[in-house]
Structures are given as C-alpha cells and as structure tokens.
Amino acid sequence: MITIIASTNRPNSYSLQTAQYYQKMIEENGHEASIMSLDLLPDDIIHADMYDKQKPASFEPFQSIITKTDKFLFIIPEYNGSFPGILKVMVDTCRFPESFYGKKAGLVGISTGKYGNIRGLDHFTGICHYLNITLLPLKIHIPYIHKELNADGSFFQPDTLKFTKQQIDQFIAF
C-alpha cells in the first residue's frame, strides 16, 4: 500500500495539491495510492501523554493507515527553514518502532522560495534514518511551488514534469 502524506495541517495547501498530482501520476502507472492530509489529524493528539503507549482513540484511523502502508511519499513544505511541526507530532504519535521500521519512503520538498525545502528534507532524512525507513535516493525539491501548478492542479514546467516523472518511476520500482 502506498500512502502519500501531505505534511502540513494548512487546509487547501500546495502540499495537498502536490500530493494529488503524485497520486494521479502513480495511478496512471497502474498502482493505487491514497493521501493522508495532516490537516485532518485530530486536535487531541498533542497532549502530555502522547509519548506513552496509550494513544488517543481519535488517532487510531491514522495509525491503521500507517501500519498498513508499505511505502510512503512525503510531500514536505518548508516552514521556517525546515519541515512543519505537525509532521513531527504525527510521527511522534505513531507507535514506535513498528509504524515505520523497515518501510520505504520517497521525499518531495516544496517551497514558495527558491530552494524547494532542501534543509527541511535533510532534517527529515535524519528522522527517517532513526526510524529505519529506507529512502529513495532521488529527492525532488520544487521551488516557487505557487508558480508550478496550473489551474487543474497539474505541473506544467518541463523540468518539473521531467523530474517528478523520474521520481515517480523510481518510486514505483523501489
């Protein structure tokens, strides 16, 4: 099972639009992919006991998806030179180590600035290594995301189309 994670809790985000594009492209290649948008996380996941074995019941549908997933594709926007805190909260709320241990993931960084969240992907790579997630070596960085998507929510710039296709092909074969 492939799960694409739109890694922000901002509604109607570029992360979600990018996740929808990747989902469409993966499905056009004959594979199923679902989207987990972190804007749907329950409000009660942030609490003093979140690191205990007992997790909030409201998080269980998300945990179930994480548990069933073999491959993740994280769409990670740049927030203050890194990745959104809600992504770390989601990872911290998941059962450890079984949620991610030995699974595979691809990383896509996006930003409205010129670097496409290079630092954020580096920071999240360290977390993935700690969790024993095997990462696809090809990481995509998409700068100026607000200029990359057309009205239909599709990428249209030739370089972006080329590199996202390359990453999707490698991710499917991974």
Instruction: Extract the residue ranges of the chain whose pLDDT is less than 70.
Output: 48-53
Tokens 């990747």, residue?
A: 22
Give the pLDDT confidence score for residue 50 in this predicted structure. Answer: 66
Give the pLDDT confidence score for residue 47 in this predicted structure. Answer: 72
Give the pLDDT confidence score for residue 49 in this predicted structure. Answer: 65
Do residues 94 and 127 touch, judged by C-beta distance below 8 A? Answer: no
Of 62, 77, 73, 74, nearest in space to 29 by CA: 73
Of 70, 83, 48, 98, nearest in space to 2 by CA: 70
Mean pLDDT over each residue of the chain, to the nearest integer: 94
Q: Please state the domain extents for the chain.
A: 2-173
**pTM here?**
0.95
Do residues 165 and 34 touch, judged by C-beta distance below 8 A? Answer: no
Give the pLDDT confidence score for residue 57 in this predicted structure. Answer: 84
Of 168, 1, 163, nearest in space to 72 by CA: 1
Annotation: CATH topology of 2-173: Rossmann fold (3.40.50)
Strand 104-110 versus strand 33-37 pairing type: unpaired
Give the pLDDT confidence score for residue 45 in this predicted structure. Answer: 82
Give the pLDDT confidence score for residue 48 in this predicted structure. Answer: 63
